[in-house]
Amino acid sequence: MQDALSMIYLWLKAGHIIFVIFWMAGLFMLPRYFVYHQECAPDSPENAMWVDRERKLLKIILNPSLIVVWVLGLALAYSLNAWSEGWLHAKLALVLLLSGYHGWMASYAKKLARGERPLSGKTLRLLNEIPGVTAAIIVILVVVKPF
């Protein structure tokens, strides 16, 4: 199995990078949607449009991208036999963190759809920094392999 994965390593890597880009784009967009959503009146037509946009972003881009990123990422780790590498452990921990952030955003979208608005726009703007900082650290881990 590992030999077969090694032959398609570059295709796995390309697919992984492509779907990481899709996933990260969604992780950057959804909190901004939340900010705009919270600024509109709760019972307005605009509110219903934001609920629909958030739902579509999650179902069409974010959720499928998350699954493909994990599948291709694990296949890459297997093809490299990198399970004992410290950088991979750190990367996996950070990807787990981003996956949890993704799950939290999906649950926050459901709260907004129900009319609950527990966080301020400022807090959502700050939370929007999590994926960027995490992605930068992940890229350094993968490229530099500091440990």
Residues 6+ apart with CB under 8 A from 3: none
Question: From CA 31, how far away is CA 52, in angstroms rounded?
Answer: 15
Q: Is 16 annotated as a binding residue?
A: yes
- Torsion sign (Cα): 83, 85, 90, 94: negative
Residues 6+ apart with CB under 8 A from 127: 31, 119
Distance CA 128, CA 141 (A): 21
Tokens coding 97: 């963190």
Is 91 part of any known ligand binding site?
yes
Binding residues: 16, 91
Known binding-site positions for heme: 16, 91
